[in-house]
Every structure is written in structure tokens, then in C-alpha cells.
Amino acid sequence: MVDVSGKPPMLREARAAGSLLMQTTTLDLLRQGLLKKGDALAVARVAAIQAAKQTAAWIPLCHPLPLSAVEVEFDLGHRNPVDGRCGVGIEVRVRTVAGTGVEMEALTAVAAAALNLYDMTKAVDPDLVIGPARLLEKTKRPLPLD
């Protein structure tokens, strides 16, 4: 593990995104809440938050961080720019006050959301494709003085 003990705590934020591509009929079932396993978006949101909080358990050299916030957004109008397939866009924003960044937490959360959506829709769609997860942004700012 990298020694970050000499780094001052800063307000750090990261945004990551990914997608799950699917058939139009599958997206319709998801929108209407008619999947047999239940509310896939609610489950995927909780999975993403849980994964962000447990990132250090999944990524061996990642520092465990006290997360301040995890926000998960789904875009049910997502289109793959390459082939136009429909699907669910996933974006996660994670914040902390720490000596190291939260990009791994944001990326792990996106992956967990995509995997959970996959699990909950695979019975009705054999053509699911998890899209690439990517870091959109990471920032750090000094803490405000009292």
C-alpha cells in the first residue's frame, strides 16, 4: 500500500460511468418494474453504494476510506454511441475527506450496479452487454478554514 500518512486531508470527489446494453423489450420491463426479481434499479443503487463502501475489500492495495456521500444515477434513455443499442446508463459520484482519492470507489460502484442489473435482467435477455466503466472526473480541494 502506498503511504499517504503525509498527505493532508482534502475534500475529494470522483465521478465514474458505465452502462448495461439490452434489448428494447428488456428495457421496457425494467422501466415498468415487471422483472421477476423485483425493482432492479433500487437493488442496483443499494449494491453500488455497498460496493463503494467495501472497495478496499475488493481491491487489495486500496485504502479503506470514510465515505461522505455516494450518489447513483440511472439513465434509462442511454444509447450506445457505436451501434445505437439501448440500455441503462450508470453514473456514480463519491465524496470523502481523506488523504487519497475515491476514483476506485466510484468505478467499483459502477461495476456493482451493472452486475446487479445484469443479474436481474439476464433471465429475459441473452444479449446483455456491460459497457466500459470509465472515470469521468476526479477532484480535490483543500478543506475550508473555520
Q: What is the mean pLDDT of the chain?
A: 95
9, containing H or E segment? none
* pLDDT at res. 146: 67
CA distance 135 to 39: 27
Domain that holds residue 23: 10-141
Catalytic residue IDs: 119
pLDDT at residue 95, as a whole number: 98
Q: Which pLDDT tens digit goes with each residue over 79-133?
A: 988 888 999 999 999 999 999 999 999 999 999 999 999 999 999 999 999 999 9
Residues 52, 105: contact at Cβ < 8 Å?
A: yes
pLDDT of residue 84: 87
pTM: 0.95
Count up the domains in the chain and report the number: 1
Classify residue 4: in a domain, yes or no.
no
Whichever domain contains 101, its CATH number is: 3.30.70.640
Residues 6 or more apart whose CB falls under 8 angstroms from that of 88 comprise: 19, 20, 22, 27, 30, 41, 74, 75, 76, 78, 117
